[in-house]
Chains A and B, each alone.
Chain A
Amino acid sequence: MTAHSFALVIVFTTFWGLIGIAGPWFVPKDPTAGLIITMLVATAVCCYLFWLIAILAQLNPLFGPQLKNETIWYVRFLWE
């Protein structure tokens, strides 16, 4: 896992962690507080898991593009 992606994971985990764990402390104490806390936590869990699975799958892909040798040569020297 590269440093770049590790930093990303930290950033997003803290972001959704703030919303899901710290957010409920700041909800005003009106009768709908229970509902709002449920919604915050559910949103944080669902969205964080979704993003995490997407990026982890990209970090360790099962296979990459199937290129012919000629294409590899051209891509290597023309793009980089």
Chain B
Amino acid sequence: MASVFRSEEMCLSQLFLQVEAAYCCVAELGELGLVQFKDLNVDVNSFQRKFVNEVRRCESMERILRFLEDEIKNEIEVQWLEKSPPTPLPREMISLETVLEKLEGELQEANQNHQALKKSFLELTELKYLLKKTQDFFETETNLPDDFFTEDTSGLLELRAMPAYMAGKLGFTAGVINRERMASFERLLWRVCRGNIYLKFSEMDTVLEDPVTDIVMHKNMFIIFYQGEQLRQKIRKICEGFRATIYPCPEPAAERKEMLAGINTRLEDLVTVITQTESHRQSLLQEAAANWHSWVVKVQKMKAIYHILNMCNIDVTQQCIIAEIWFPVADTGAHQEGVGARGCELSGSSMAPILTAVQSKTAPPTFNRTNKFTAGFQNIVDAYGVGNYREINPAPYTIITFPFLFAVMFGDCGHGTVMLLAALWMVRNERRFLAQKTDNEMTSILIDGRYLILLMGIFSIYTGFIYNDCFSKAFNIFGSSWSVRPMFRNGTW
């Protein structure tokens, strides 16, 4: 007899399933949600069980789905389904695998392309600003005093053809470096080159984004003038050490202008290519986001079914799978119908599965049927310890006594009203809350306890009236029955 006051009667039975029908029957039992499968292969290593390959495939699909979730989560809102999609058939697994792997490959390729494009965009932008700035550097060189250079070398690098015998020809290196590293870079160059170089730098005003990490960077551009090959090598090594990017900057002004024009056109093209890549990636993600939740649920269901099938005994000679299940006696009819009719018609097998009752040596599991209202209270009672088989269940009494004792301790009708309103709001919106999966443990505990909080609020209002306490201030509705007269009469007046 099913009753809320005692845990239910359970019976153990053996289920003989055909190999083809096994998957579908287990799926049906899963949807019904009223059986507990006994693990018949306890001493078998999990890597030696029969369906370990399928479980592995499901896990690799889950990995791809987690990767998709990371990509999608920052950009697009995922649509949560209210109803779970039905369990997929085994042959759907292959098509799902191919779809997911293709999506993963395309997305990774799109990401790599995007990064490479952003890197070249960054380089071209830096080169453009460098070219503009070096124009100024070279022009100020012509204004240096004559005794700085040898003989008639004012405007050293500018507009004059240099005779090859000019021993004092200055070479230069132009590049870009992070702003934080600028000071130590300067100091090291001074020490290493013993002051024989001339460094000029200026800050770059535009803000640049690092292609890999998307962090904003501030950079300075510099130009170093030096004499001789050895100094050139040293400067190059130091620049590599400080991760400053060196750009080949042509000396004559005309070439520089040409280079600048070329860079501008390339930058425009690159911007269009980047926007197109970005939109392609977004469309991929949109398509993935639309189906993501249903894929996740399907993969979870498949993996669960294969875990259960791993627990069953495979009898190869008779071509059938033997499972031992515990279920409440009250649900026998639902099982016959679910397993027998729907399971085997979905798999298309002719033989119906056979259910036989078996005596058990171990104690049956304790099962207390709950609905959405009693589930919270049953959880509290089970937290103190699950009862024995067919033991009396304290949960129906706990539904009232637990909130009542809370109210005796709380006893404030103002705060009780606040609790009641909050609980009513949670109960009104419970379908929306239950469909969303929250990672926050605190809110999920609160939402699971909405009926508990509702009852606590109602009782708190009642005890608050008796304690005359509202929002921690005393109130006086009925007046007092105390009078001072008895004290007056007994006094010495």
- Chain B residue contacts of A2, Cβ below 8 A: 481
- Chain A residue contacts of B492, Cβ below 8 A: 69
A14 at the interface (CB under 8 A from B): no
Interface size of B by CB at 8 A reads 26
What are 16 A-B pairs with beta-carbon distances under 8 A?
Answer: A34-B396, A35-B4, A35-B374, A42-B399, A42-B400, A42-B401, A43-B404, A46-B400, A46-B401, A47-B462, A50-B404, A50-B466, A54-B466, A65-B482, A69-B491, A73-B493
Write the chain A residue with the least CB distance to B490: A72
Contact A34 B481 (CB under 8 A): no
Write the chain A residue with the least CB distance to B465: A51
B385-409 interface code vs A (CB 8 A; 1 in, 0 out): 0000000000011011100100010
Contact B484 A75 (CB under 8 A): yes
A64 at the interface (CB under 8 A from B): yes
- Number of CB contacts from chain A to chain B under 8 A: 61
B233 at the interface (CB under 8 A from A): no
B220 at the interface (CB under 8 A from A): no
Chain B min CB distance to A46 (Å)? 5
Contact A76 B396 (CB under 8 A): no
A39-52 interface code vs B (CB 8 A; 1 in, 0 out): 10011001100110
Other A-B pairs beyond A46-B400, A69-B491, 11, CB < 8 Å: A34-B4, A35-B396, A35-B399, A38-B396, A38-B397, A42-B397, A42-B400, A42-B401, A50-B408, A51-B466, A72-B484
Q: Which of B374, B466, B484 contacts A76 (CB 8 A)?
A: B484
CA distance A79 to B483 in the complex (A): 10
* Residue ranges of B at the interface with A (Cβ–Cβ < 8 Å): 3-5, 371, 374, 396-397, 399-401, 404, 408, 459, 462-463, 466, 481-485, 487-488, 491-493
CA distance A34 to B462 in the complex (A): 25
Lowest 3 CB-CB distances: which A-B pairs, in order? A42-B400, A75-B484, A46-B404
CA distance A35 to B397 in the complex (A): 9
* Residue ranges of A at the interface with B (Cβ–Cβ < 8 Å): 2, 4-5, 32, 34-35, 38-39, 42-43, 46-47, 50-51, 54, 58, 64-65, 67, 69, 72-73, 75-76, 79-80
Write the chain B residue with the least CB distance to A45: B400
Q: Which of A35, A67, A80 contacts B485 (CB 8 A)?
A: A80
CA distance A72 to B4 in the complex (A): 60
Write the chain A residue with the least CB distance to B493: A73
CA distance A65 to B487 in the complex (A): 10
Contact A76 B401 (CB under 8 A): no
Write the chain B residue with the least CB distance to A51: B466
Write the chain B residue with the least CB distance to A67: B487
- Chain A residue contacts of B371, Cβ below 8 A: 32
CA distance A2 to B417 in the complex (A): 33
In this complex, which of B400, B462, B463 has the most chain A Cβ atoms within 10 angstroms of its Cβ? B400
Contact A76 B4 (CB under 8 A): no
- Chain B residue contacts of A58, Cβ below 8 A: 481
- Chain A residue contacts of B374, Cβ below 8 A: 35
Chain A min CB distance to B228 (Å)? 96
Contact B481 A39 (CB under 8 A): no
* A39-B396 contact given A69-B491, A72-B487, A79-B484, CB 8 Å threshold: yes
- Chain A residue contacts of B462, Cβ below 8 A: 47
CA distance A79 to B408 in the complex (A): 34
Contact A80 B4 (CB under 8 A): no
- Chain B residue contacts of A50, Cβ below 8 A: 404, 408, 463, 466
Write the chain B residue with the least CB distance to A72: B487
- Chain A residue contacts of B399, Cβ below 8 A: 35, 38-39, 42
